[in-house]
Amino acid sequence: MNSQKIPDIIIGRLPIYLRALQRLSEKGVQTTSSQELGRIVGISAAQIRKDISQFGEFGKQGTGYSIPFLIEKLSNILNVDRVWEVVIVGTGDIGRALANYDGFADRGFLVSMVFDNDPDKVGQKAGDFEILDTANMVEKIKERKIKVAMLTVPATSAQEATDQLVRAGVKAILNYAPISLNVPEDVNVQYIDPVTHLQRMTYYL
């Protein structure tokens, strides 16, 4: 297997499969088929088989997929068979919602620090976290070798905060600010902007 060559669009579907498998597993289900998985996630069985077969032969003709085995394999491929420390930058409504969210821990992520640049917020709490000053952010992230960040600052501060995260060695940024970020080639950004998602759907209305 040469993971370098697998299209990002396929990588993007693996977390969806993993999420569905984990939900089946929670219900006590032990095996599944590409047909069943396809019905759950709304993707064709053929596409699912093709996507998964990029990484090896994980299912058996006729008996389908062992769910614990496939969860293990997908977690391994996506590097979430470990826990990634994550920082949150920005403690507006969304930053606080993420700081409170209890859905990270069992899916590979642990929020470890929360930052804001507002002196009135620094030292206060966001969820269980003391809000730290972004002035010390680069140093603190470097110290703990954190590679993943969620950015929930206003659009006007997003690039500046990104530059700090890049200097700190962060390689994956989940950006909630409604603006495109400039980052070096070895840094990944994923975007969450409800409006762009909504506009993609209104096209069809």
Residues near a copy of itself (CB under 8 A): 8, 11-12, 14-16, 18-20, 23, 39-42, 77-80, 84, 86, 92-94, 96-98, 100-101, 103-104, 107-109, 147-148, 150, 155, 171-172, 174, 178-182, 188-205
Q: Which is nearer to a copy of itself, 150 or 153 (CB)?
A: 150
Estimate to the nearest angstrom the gap between the alpha carbon of 44 and the chain centroid.
24
Smallest gap from Cβ 123 to a copy of itself, in A, equals: 22
Cβ within 8 Å of residue 79, ≥6 positions away: 108
The secondary element (H helix, E strand) that includes residue 71 is: helix 67-77
Smallest gap from Cβ 165 to a copy of itself, in A, equals: 13
Q: Which is nearer to a copy of itself, 68 or 194 (CB)?
A: 194
Smallest gap from Cβ 61 to a copy of itself, in A, equals: 25
Distances (CA, A) of 67 to 24, 32, 193: 8, 7, 33
**Structure tokens given for 109:** 């992520």
Q: Which residues are paired to 150 by β-bridges?
A: 88, 174
Q: Which is nearer to a copy of itself, 30 or 180 (CB)?
A: 180
Q: Which is nearer to a copy of itself, 133 or 191 (CB)?
A: 191
**Structure tokens given for 204:** 């069809």
Q: Which is nearer to a copy of itself, 16 or 133 (CB)?
A: 16
Cβ within 8 Å of residue 37, ≥6 positions away: 17, 20, 21, 43, 45, 48, 65
Smallest gap from Cβ 138 to a copy of itself, in A, equals: 19
Smallest gap from Cβ 135 to a copy of itself, in A, equals: 26
Q: Are strands 129-133 and 125-126 parallel, antiparallel or unpaired?
A: antiparallel
